[in-house]
Structure 1
């Protein structure tokens, strides 16, 4: 997820470079979603939604506007990314089961469980996440 602030144009102006860096250094099957955050501050908007939609379409990115403050569309954005990642992993698993090696990764037996947002509180998600940074 690449997140920019809809109230600060300069944050959006950096997105093209971030996409380029991701595509240069990440696996070719990476799922990238562009997120315009602070949608609750629409009256302070400095990045028109149309600009972001156009950029996302040109780059083949998924797009959503969210508000971390109010929580609007946050779950939806994460679930969309999870669905797309699941699709990529499922395709790779299918290729592996057919004897096709996918980027040198053996996905035999790989499983992804997606838990409904209503079943899991944010605090529980934080407990489950493991960050190596």
Structure 2
């Protein structure tokens, strides 16, 4: 598991879990955050979230993962749910084709309310139920490739590829954030002799670090 919750970290990354109801989002989160699986897991009401500290290279990242209800009656929270999210796991159930068909709907929502460079991993969950499979793994791979997403099949029950799916997302978020931070420093150095006066209504913001009080515009 990750480092202690209380250990001082270098970054705080918010990510979201999305997909139809009963695809296994909550059990994926509990596997990742607490290494637990509940056969009697109930549908999520509203929004829940969990933390886990992950080390990527020399940086300690606190991942804040939000889990939301898949039912339509809770979709009024959509815009606030995506606010500040840098990544998403878009989950479908390999034994229910309807959940795979609805991936297009969730992608549309992501692109409408989420950040343009959000890291998205398409996850086909419940791979342990291969005998009941309705969606081939190749279909998931092809869709992910066409949409520019990462892809992985998982089993929350057997704890298969759960860690890997979250780590792929977190590592890519870190890669993007580090690149933006580097570019911001280069721009700052190139403009060091320029005036520090900003137009009225503008403000200096920081990359999404734990020590920052505001997030950069690219991460909202």
Does structure 2 retain, via aligned residues, the 8 Å contact 1:4–1:36? Answer: yes
Aligned length: 107
Residue 9 of structure 1 is aligned with which of 74, 78, 97? 97
Residue 175 of structure 2 is aligned with which of 70, 83, 87? 87
Which has the higher relative contact order, 1 or 2, with Cα contacts under 8 A spaced 6 or more apart? 2
Q: 1:106 Cα deviation (Å)? A: 2.1
User: For the residues of structure 2 that align with 1:88 and 1:60, how far apart are their CA atoms?
Assistant: 15
RMSD across aligned positions (CA): 1.7
> Corresponding residue for 2:184?
96
Runs of 4+ in structure 1 off by over 2 angstroms are: none
**Bigger fraction of residues in strand:** 2
Question: TM-score of the superposition, structure 2-length normalised?
Answer: 0.46
Q: 1:27 Cα deviation (Å)? A: 1.1
The SS at the match of 1:7 is coil
User: For the residues of structure 2 that align with 1:105 and 1:13, how far apart are their CA atoms?
Assistant: 39
Structure 1 residue ranges without an equivalent (≥5): 112-133
> Corresponding residue for 1:58?
146
Going from structure 1 to structure 2, the CA distance change for 1:2 and 1:55 (only over 3 Å counts) comes to: same
User: For the residues of structure 1 that align with 2:134 and 2:117, how far apart are their CA atoms?
Assistant: 32
Question: TM-score of the superposition, structure 1-length normalised?
Answer: 0.75
The SS at the match of 2:117 is coil
User: For the residues of structure 2 that align with 1:72 and 1:50, how far apart are their CA atoms?
Assistant: 18
**Bigger fraction of residues in helix:** 1
Structure 2 residue ranges without an equivalent (≥5): 1-88, 189-203, 211-220
